[in-house]
Structure 1
Amino acid sequence: MALTLVSSNRCAGGFQKVFEHDSSELKCKMKFAIYLPPKAETDKCPVFYWLSGLTCTEQNFITKAGSQLAAAEHGIIVVAPDTSPRGCNIEGEDESWDFGTGAGFYVDATEDPWKTIQAYDATALASSYSGPQLDVLIDQGRDDQFLSASQLLPDNLIAVCSENKIPVVFRLQPGYDHSYFFIYSFMNDHMKHHAKYLNA
């Protein structure tokens, strides 16, 4: 796969880069961002993948989440791909914000959509999990409009984790919504949480 460098910026002692490539699966150009901490210049570093939600490109996370300082501190590479094809000229792709261009539901468009969603749904995965001990940290904005509309169902995940004895720290954060202001506010905690295991 040939990569084209789109941008490279010095950031928190490392580099924030964006690359573009031709996707053989999606038949269009796709982009991904990668943050290389200072440690990556001399040593191997673990990788943290961020998959943004609906409508987001790779730019949303790298410009709004504030992950670079914590990634630099803990020596973690952060990869943030654009999770959706754009401009593919699929019939109806711009008719709806949540099922069109940038929708993020294109895990594998050749499979039955609901079967695919089940294979990647956190609650479904936790219900059948039998691997090593986990340590889950969840932050949820109490004033998240998708929570109040019952489109986010953290209680289902917590219940399944409880049944399967998967430890979960769930923090319902008052006053926070679904925006990157919320993500920015707790990104440091989550990067530190992952660093415990990625750097072990």
Structure 2
Amino acid sequence: MSSSTLTREQSAKAFDGHQYVYSHESSTVGCKMKFGVYVPEKAEKEQVPLLIFLSGLTCTEQNFITKSGVQSLASKYGFIVANPDTSPRGCKIEGDSEKWNFGESAGYYVDATESKWSKNYRMFSYINEEFYDLIVKNFNVNPKKIGILGHSMGGHGALISFFKRPGQYQSVSAFAPICNASASEWGINAYTNFFGQDETLWKQYDATELVASYNGPKPHAPVLVDQGSDDSFKDNQLFPERFIVACKTASFPLELREQAGYDHGYYFIMTFLEDHFKYHKNEFEHAQ
């Protein structure tokens, strides 16, 4: 491991492996970034699959690793699981910390084009280039078995990463993703700041829009998306039904499961997380 690029902030044994938190100076977003990574014992002996998990609004690198119980599953399935922060921090841009759904903890995994934000808010490039390469180079990852998943804003981030980088990820899944970001209140507010009034730029970071033009490798099994029926954001921010229609129109395979009685939180994620591990494992088994 390259000690010159990564600083270990936390380390704890969990099951047969270790949960770490590292920091590094990011050249992409221009500040120190933290991330969590669980490394199972199996990775000490051989290359193993990698899952990247993207978190939602208000989250840091801590939420997923402290609330989901992911460590037991990562150990059981022998996956490295890496989860970055959700935005740059400490950039001191006016307006970046006034609202819970925009700015710090809410970077939407996009590359901003407006000059105020474009230097630091480059989370799409950070996730899919710098962070991706950092994990692959510093940990014992099988480069042919890499999947991405996320929750809410992070589910949106996972889907757009899969669609915009065909072939980079062998698998993708999501929990309650923002499916149509350019048409949701959250997305409209963020995208107006990040991209200005040019709605063609908004649509370049919108899963419902992107699936129509996706021409990369299709998954072996339909992409797995779980959505709670009692999610208070479902009908006015997430718009899963629009994504279902878009996937059908594009003949893109999707299994969107509405889970009765579940809300938007981590108990929901915890309940169905193993199904997502099983899904990614199945996709990895078909990877060439």
The alignment-based identity, stated in percent, is: 50
* C-alpha distance in structure 1 between counterparts of 2:252 and 2:111, whole Å: 29
If each structure's helix is expressed as a fraction of its own residues, which one has the higher value?
2
Residue 151 of structure 1, aligned match among 237, 245, 259: 237
Q: CA deviation at 1:55?
A: 1.2
CA distance in 1, matches of 2:201, 2:67: 29
- 1:180 Cα deviation from its structure 2 partner: 0.9
- Describe the SS at the equivalent of 1:2: coil
Range moving further from structure 2, 113-122 or 175-184:
113-122
Aligned to 2:203: 118
Q: Specify the alignment match of 2:180 in structure 1.
A: none
Q: Are the equivalent residues in 1 in contact too, given 2:11–2:21 (CA < 8 A)? A: yes
How far apart are 1:186 and its partner, in Å?
Answer: 0.7
Distance 1:12 1:120, change over 3 A: farther
State the distance in 2 between where 1:105 and 1:46 align.
25
Matching of residue 98 in structure 1 with residue 101 in structure 2: yes
| Contact kept in structure 2, 1:141 and 1:172, CA below 8 Å | yes
Corresponding residue number in structure 1 for 2:250: 164
Q: Does 1:195 align with 2:242?
A: no
> What is the alpha-carbon root mean square deviation over aligned residues?
1.8
How far did residue 96 of structure 1 move? Answer: 1.0
Give the SS at the match of 2:33: strand
How far the C-alpha of 1:199 sits from its partner, in A, is 4.0
Name the residue aligned to 1:53.
Answer: 56
Distance 1:159 1:100 in 2: 30
Asked if the contact 1:18–1:34 (Cα under 8 Å) also holds between the matched residues in 2, the reply is yes
Q: Work out which of the residue numbers 74, 77, 81 in structure 1 matches 2:77.
A: 74
TM-score, normalising length: structure 1: 0.91
Q: Could you give the per-residue CA deviations for residues 58-100 of structure 1, whole angstroms, max 9, x where no partner exists? A: 1000111122222212211111000211222110122211113
- C-alpha deviations, 1:143-167, integer Å up to 9, x for none? 111114x100111111111122222
User: Aligned runs of 1:14-93 on 2, under 5 Å?
Assistant: 14-93=17-96
**Cα distance in structure 1, aligned partners of 2:202 and 2:111:** 10
Tell whether 2:229 aligns with 1:142.
Answer: yes
Question: Are the equivalent residues in 1 in contact too, given 2:87–2:103 (CA < 8 A)?
Answer: no
